[in-house]
Amino acid sequence: MDLILPVLDTTVRLAIPLLFACLAGLFSERAGIFDIGLEGKMLAAAFFSAALAAVTGSVWLGLLAGIAASITLSAIHGIASITFRGNQLISGVAINFLAAGLTVLIAQDWFQQGGRTPSLIGGARFETIDLPFAEALSGVPIFGQIYADLISGHTILVYVGFLCVPLTWWILFRTRFGLRLRAVGENPAAVDTAGISVVWLRFAAVGICGILCGLAGAYLATGLQAGFVKDMSSGRGFIALAALIFAKWRPWYALYATLLFGFLQALSLRPDVVELIFRVPMPVQFLDALPYILTVVILAGFVGKAIPPKAGGEPYVKER
Amino acid sequence: MDAMPKWADVLLVPLISIVIAFFFSGLVILAIGENPIDAIRTMIQGSLTSSYGWGYTLYYTTNFIFTGLAVSVAFHARMFNIGGEGQAMLGGLGVAMVCLALPWPHWTLALPAALLGGALFGALWAAIPAYLQAARGSHIVITTIMFNFIAFSVLNYLLVNVFKPPGSMDPATAVFPPGTALPRFSDILGVFGIPFSAAPPVNVSFFVAILACFGVWLLMWRTRLGYEIRAFGHSESAAVYAGISPFKITMVAMLISGALAGAMAINNVMGESQRLVMNAVEGAGFIGIAVALMGRSHPVGVFLAALLFGFLYQGGAELSLWTNIPRELIVVIQALVILFTGALDNMVRMPIERAFLAARRRRKAREAGLGKTEPAE
């Protein structure tokens, strides 16, 4: 218990940015817009949230700046892939590089610290929240420990992240907007025939995607770590993309997939625990690669077929 | 009927896209408080005014030709190979294994063997995503992205646990035997008595890259296979109707693409570092995307675009040396080029098409008008 709890605690914290990004991709791809720019949006949000938090000392202003940066990149993606019907994948690649380059460039200009922000202290970071009775219950074996160490003691964004899962499910599967959003990803012509704007719906989805990526990036720089460093998203956007496919574009499964991939990341930080569990030394590199390998296996359809939204990646051209 | 003449499609549209991309890059430089004109001057000075600068520019160009061609071949079959980075990494492994396998007596023997090794490993790394796309319908973009990460882990594991010489600390192979050292430009031009700086790593691989350009042109426009690849890229259903097998074309196009990306390793691994290190590819696989888009997937275009990016890369290195502008400026320029020549292509293309259509309509109207007035005279 003493061994596994810290690993599970790390799992939760590492899974949250993946979860936000995964749900972001879920909204976008369910509406038929492929988004391989999750990584870039996260990175941009991480930088701007840390930068504003460092300058103003307020993590909330930082969060807003992060979301704004992410939405800006979303807007570029929307204009390229919805308005001008460009290639969504190429646009995503461009956005990733744009974020990777601009964040370092601006960081160097603003802070002169070699492409990083100053370390965030005090109110410039998200503080951990102790849930009620966590202290009192920590003595209770197992349940008390789990409550005090695993469930309590995270930043607010962690709890927001978990709440986003039922919220996403509810929006997508229990509201009219969600029905239309899913329809536009499967058969945009039908939605258009019903007199609903495909362009507006897709922009809305891409916008939500921007907000969620903003949360992911802000959590990365102001919750998980204290400040921005160059390339700090380090492939998380792509792991989130993998998780999205793993979850077959469904919100609850997205939670499980990101927790699984978060667990793998947590394990690769603790090779000693891995050796204890599996009784054999496991190369760290194998654990690092495991999310990608699992995704390829899923994509190959050997273990349940992952079928993406039907109109994904296709620009919608209205018939005249 | 085409909306605009061929020259506009091949030259004008990409040119305007690049001008817009560079305009925004200039704005970025202005925004961080530097002077874009000075920046360009520094870049040109550092990359084009000395044999030292040219040497590095052409060294980078060589890398980008290989990866640009790799992306282009896949583009012709309407596939987006983002896996150039991983394929080039594995190509490096192939080159390193060939170079370390024998005490090679001379580079003329080692180079073809290493080229084959690199191409083979690159092709193999592309083969799995290709097969999954062809046989099981897994999206090649996602699988090639995943394979980039897997390649990184595989290489990391092999370098740390298998290829690292005993006693060494950094994850890299042993230094290759001296017989595998490729002649650099200073050696080649020295034969003719032309002085060239010995410092830059540009080497005989540059000519291999040019040969590869010619080879890809021959393949795509002068062979039956190239025709099939292009036909498949234009319309899969038409290609199937013409008896072209989608499975075969997907596999072959991706194998060629992976082989080209893997072949890059003769330049950066064999020609430059003389051993395989972890980050040998340095993002060249991704720059190949920008190069292919800008070069309109034509070998001549790829060559010119690779040259431009070679200049940007070397110029960017000089820029970070002499000014406050970090190297990442190149990543921004690369992003803007991909954005404007790739994703926002329609934004540039549509107004130009409209202008050509309007011009044609006006000309027709005038001719029609003249036709009417003539009998009256």
Chain B: nearest CA to A30, how far in angstroms?
16
The residue with tokens 């052409």 is B58
Query: Does residue B97 form part of some domain?
Result: yes
Three-state DSSP class for residue B97? helix
Which residues from B are below 8 Å from A100, CB to CB?
328, 331, 335
Residue burial A155-171, b: 16+ Cβ < 10 Å; e: rest? bebbeebbebbeebbeb
Q: Which residue of A has its CA nearest to B344?
A: A80
Question: Residue B207 belongs to what domain range?
Answer: 61-310
Write the pLDDT tens digit of every residue in B4-52: 788 888 888 888 998 999 999 999 999 988 899 999 999 999 999 999 9
Facing residue for A84 by CB, picked from B160, B289, B347: B347
CB contact under 8 A, B150 and A90: no
Which residues from A are below 8 Å from B139, CB to CB?
299, 308
Query: Does residue B10 form part of some domain?
Result: no
Q: What is the pLDDT of residue B376?
A: 46
CB contact under 8 A, B33 and A109: yes
- Contact between A58 and A111 (Cβ < 8 Å): no
Quote the ipTM score: 0.91
The domain total for chain B is 1
Q: Which residue of B has its CA nearest to A294?
A: B146
Mean pLDDT to the nearest integer, A40-50: 96
Q: How many CB pairs under 8 A join A and B?
A: 152
- Contact between B225 and B174 (Cβ < 8 Å): no
- Average pLDDT of chain A is 89
CATH of the domain at B147: 1.10.3470
- Going by the DSSP 8-state scheme, the letter that residue B176 receives in this structure is P
Q: H-helix or E-strand containing A154?
A: strand A154-155
Which pair of tokens denotes residue A58?
């307020």
Q: What is the pLDDT of residue B152?
A: 94
CB contact under 8 A, A241 and B145: yes
> In this structure, what are the phi and psi dihedrals at residue B172, rounded to the nearest 5 degrees?
-155, 160
Mean pLDDT to the nearest integer, B199-224: 94
Three-state DSSP class for residue B83? coil
Amino acid sitting at position B368: A
- Contact between B317 and B310 (Cβ < 8 Å): no
Closest C-alpha to B83, from B34, B132, B11? B132
Facing residue for B332 by CB, picked from A86, A105, A292: A105
Q: Which residue of B has its CA nearest to A104?
A: B328
Write the pLDDT tens digit of every residue in A84-142: 999 898 999 999 999 999 999 999 999 988 888 888 888 888 888 887 777 777 777 77
* Cβ neighbours of residue B138 closer than 8 Å, sequence gap 6 or more: A296, A299, A300, A301, B129, B132
Three-state DSSP class for residue B277? strand
We find that the CATH architecture of domain A4-127+154-300 is: Orthogonal Bundle (1.10)
CB contact under 8 A, A87 and B343: yes
- Contact between B91 and B264 (Cβ < 8 Å): yes
Which pair of tokens denotes residue B355?
């202008």
User: Which has more confidence, A212 or B368?
Assistant: A212
> What is the C-alpha to C-alpha distance for residues B139 and B102, in angstroms, rounded to an integer?
40
Which residues from B are below 8 Å from A95, CB to CB?
335, 339
> What is the C-alpha to C-alpha distance for residues A166 and B184, in angstroms, rounded to an integer?
62
> In this structure, what are the phi and psi dihedrals at residue B75, rounded to the nearest 5 degrees?
-60, -40
- Contact between B111 and B122 (Cβ < 8 Å): no
Q: Which residue of B has its CA nearest to A284?
A: B157
Mean pLDDT to the nearest integer, B286-300: 92
> What is the C-alpha to C-alpha distance for residues A23 and A162, in angstroms, rounded to an integer?
11
